[in-house]
């Protein structure tokens, strides 16, 4: 697959051997064999239809919840840009949002239109495509509480619209197939006062700033909260606050965040996470599950 001749023609941007570290929050990891930034939905659909079915594909949003391993990502990484960040108001309380739109943009647009119930998206550092795929949540709410349906481009190039029921949501997981790209989602809130909605969003932003290491090279929440427990509390109880491995560290501010102190490899970040899991299990007999996605070759 190294020859350019094997790749379909595109109208967007198709880059071979593209560095991914600048595109992810950890600022670590290898290259994508190919990085595809489609011009529009038709460009993506046509590309998938013509691409060899054996070539893997994955979508990349803001790169906040991701470890890209140092060996890079085989196949095609699809990144949705501005053409996929549009938001339309369907009625008084319903928004249709492009897969490339950020949580901040969606919540701000909802506020401007007097749509309440989407404020928590202000606290999710990702795009619609990412948080629809993993049922992102914050401050007591999840995507499953607001989503009506999602449009997907399957790896085959088929475009489908899945209602909430078919998305199969559980905690931080959906049935969106591997290789599929979420290009749109419909969210519904309730009528609200823009000023009150804005105040709630500001409170969420302040809470995040106070409790999370947002100005660091991090991947966001590392492990899922086990039933009846908070991951950060288990990590702290196991003595992992501030634990380092190479250039990677468990945040002292919030134990469920891993940090790249500047020169950490993805291998060091992932190994630190595994050491945290080992210590928590030894101390509490609870096995932490990764929330951060880990992709690519070691």
The vertex-98 CA angle with 95 and 104, nearest 5°, equals 75
33, 184, 270, 291: the active-site residue: 291
Catalytic annotation on 277?
no
Catalytic annotation on 172?
yes
221, 251, 265, 266: the active-site residue: 221
3-state secondary structure labels for all residues of the chain: CCCHHHCCCCCCEEEEEEECHHHCCCCCCCEEEEEEECCCHHHHHHHHHHCCCCCCEEEECCCCCEEECCCCEEEEEEECCHHHCCEEEEECCEEEEECCCEHHHHHHHHHHCCEECCHHHHHCCCEHHHHHHCCCEECCEEHHHCEEEEEEECCCCCEEEEEHHHHCCECCECCCCCCCEEEEEEEECEECCHHHHHHHHHHHHHHHHHHCCCCCEECCCCECCCCCCCHHHHHHHCCCCCCEECCEEECCCCCCCEEECCCCCHHHHHHHHHHHHHHHHHHHCCCCCECCEEECCC
172, 217, 277, 279: the active-site residue: 172
Catalytic annotation on 141?
no
Name the residue among 72, 289, 129, 107 with its Cα closest to residue 204: 107
Answer whether 110's CB lies under 8 Å from 127's CB: no
Q: How far, in Å, CA of 38 to CA of 12, rounded?
A: 4
Catalytic residue numbers?
172, 221, 291
């Amino acid at each position: 697959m190294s020859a350019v001749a094997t790749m379909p023609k595109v109208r967007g941007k198709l880059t071979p051997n593209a560095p991914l570290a600048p595109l992810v929050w950890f600022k670590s990891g290898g290259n994508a064999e190919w990085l595809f930034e489609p011009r529009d939905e038709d460009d993506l659909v046509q590309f998938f239809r013509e691409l060899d079915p054996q070539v893997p594909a994955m979508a990349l949003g803001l790169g906040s919840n991701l470890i890209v391993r140092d060996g890079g990502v085989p196949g095609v990484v699809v990144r949705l840009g501005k053409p996929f960040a549009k938001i339309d108001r369907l009625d008084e309380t319903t928004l249709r949002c492009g897969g490339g739109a950020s949580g901040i943009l969606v919540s701000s647009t909802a506020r401007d239109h007097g749509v309440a119930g989407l404020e928590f998206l202000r606290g999710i550092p990702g795009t619609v495509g990412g948080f629809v795929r993993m049922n992102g949540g914050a401050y007591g709410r999840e995507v499953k509480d607001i989503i009506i349906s999602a449009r997907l481009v399957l790896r085959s190039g088929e475009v489908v619209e899945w209602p909430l029921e078919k998305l199969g949501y559980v905690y931080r997981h959906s049935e969106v197939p591997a290789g599929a790209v979420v290009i749109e989602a419909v969210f519904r809130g309730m009528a609200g006062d823009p000023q009150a909605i804005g105040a709630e969003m500001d409170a969420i932003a302040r809470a995040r700033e106070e409790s999370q290491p947002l100005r660091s090279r991090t991947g966001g929440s590392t492990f899922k909260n086990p039933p009846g427990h908070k991951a950060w509390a288990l990590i702290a109880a196991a003595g992992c606050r501030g634990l380092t491995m190479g250039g990677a560290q468990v945040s002292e501010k919030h134990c469920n965040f891993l940090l790249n102190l500047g020169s950490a490899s993805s291998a060091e970040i992932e190994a630190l996470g595994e050491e945290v899991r080992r210590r928590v299990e030894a101390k509490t007999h609870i096995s932490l599950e990764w929330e951060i996605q880990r992709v690519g070759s070691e």
